[in-house]
Structure 1
Amino acid sequence: MTTEQSYKIGTPGQPWGSAEKSAWYQAQTVKRSYQSQVVSKIKSIHQSLSELLDLKRYGALSYNTDVYELWLFMSKQWQQDKPTILVTGGVHGYETSGVFGALRFVETELVKYSEHFNFIVAPCISPWGYETINRWNPNAVDPNRSFYKDGPAEESKNIMDYVLGLNIELLAHIDLHETTDTDNSEFRPALAARDAIDQKSWNIPDGFYGVGDSLKPQPEFQKAIIDSVSKVTHIAPADESNKLIGSDLAQFGVINYPTKELGLCAGFTDAEYVSTTEVYPDSPKSDAENCIIAQVAAVTGGLNYLVGKK
């Protein structure tokens, strides 16, 4: 079914202009601290793994360049004969386990795979979104629809410019996300109002699922991720139409999107293997810690598959 355009900002049937976007921005408030909760963790992890990893400041967001510095981990002893893995989190800042799943992977698992791969890990691409628990950036732009040349989100541009500027070939990119109840209660109604369009509503899948690239779906890679995650949390079943969030099921626990066409983070490189993870933190069967563990399991499941391919 479709949702009627009903939102606290804007006039039904009219796309937002600058006044509406400003009103939306003014309504946002800081609810948690990027510096104390994320940056402090990043620097603590780097201190303990400084012999293995470099910590790179790859930019800062213009909204507040002192607070919203952008950080990533990068293998210190870079070896050209090793394939490179990119892990990203916090593209949607409100998707908490994406941020802390990336950090937990670095903290507890990355060293085990360092003999096989070079790593780049960017744990929080959208720190303003993290602080305000938002899908959009301050300009009411979705960073995860902005990963293309001259796109409108500086969050996307910063990480793209850095990674693509390295001029290296990536083997895999795993982008860590969540699907939450607020997708239906807040973010999709906001999108409908902003663009003056009807939005199809859907049942939020109860459990983990993955999103592959429709042009290079890599079903065995996706299966390895699902199998790994299934050991620590439940996998979302398809709905009565054999769909997840309105998309046809490609295989158990997996749907496919045209990642480049949609401007998704998972599509901004030419990596052979890509996956976007989706955990469900609002499930009665899960909690915040379980979601973080599931994100780590997704990354390690994919890496175990790639190690086996070597």
Structure 2
Amino acid sequence: MSAATGPARTGARGSTREDRAGRRADRSARRRTIGTAFVYTTLVVIAVVYIYPFLVQVATSFKSEAEAVGSPLSLVPGTWTTAAYQELFLRSDFPVWFRNSVVITILVTVGRVFINSLAGYALARLSFRGRGVVFALLVAVMAVPGVVLLIPKFLVLNQLGIYNTFLALIVPLMADAAGIFIMKNFFESIPRSVEEAARIDGAGPFRTYWWIVLPMATPALVTLVILSFQGSWNELSHFIVAAQDPALSPLTKGVAQLASGGLGQGSQFPLKLGAAALMTIPVAVLFFVFQRRIMNVTTGAVKE
């Protein structure tokens, strides 16, 4: 009898241990499911909080003036109308503002990408006296609030004789400390053996930078393009001190005047929000097109 009951007890104990392990696995799976559901719920709530004002902005731009004042938070206009957009394009300076912003943003973005990458490569790879001091000054400039530099900018532009011109709007924005810092750090992550091989083949510093290193910095360049485009497209304070001619006003300055009521009477909510909605489209399109290219990796490196 004892010999017969021994294996049965052992089997029962083994079955009990398996049951306990199974229950622990079930509880762990339930906790993971609850945690995942909580995370996604939180993300959805945050997304709604951020997206809802933009949806209100777009919906209000298609409302009439009376409806925009009466039900400002409604997401579905009672009567759809494009009167605000017709007013913007046919009876305002919005096309001029848009053209100016496109010209300024393209030139500034191209200039920033070239100058910042060139300066970043020099600080990362070239040995020259005072390189450490230059980098320290670069970091110090990043710590200075931009508003502190507005009056010096005005004085310099006025002294150079380019105040109230396109040059004043474009040239001071064609380099920034943050962009140089980004490119310097990325260039330092590229193996030096790549450049050494190029020098053995007779390439000089600029040729090595332009043909060898720069194509390998595509992720950093894409990031710099997005930041430069967004920064110059949304810039306002510099444009205020650089020019006063209405014909030189970019979108930010024109929309700011529109929002302050300087271009008409009444609330003009559909007109103001329609202009703001149109202003966000280029930056959003650029970001969604290039977002997959933003990564902190180095491609094309040779084996050591």
TM-score, length of structure 2 as denominator length: 0.25
- Structure with more of its chain in helix, by fraction: 2
TM-score (norm 1): 0.24
If asked which structure has higher relative contact order (CA below 8 Å, sep 6+), I would say 2
The structure with the greater share of residues assigned to strand is 1
Question: Quick check: which has more Rg, 1 or 2?
Answer: 2
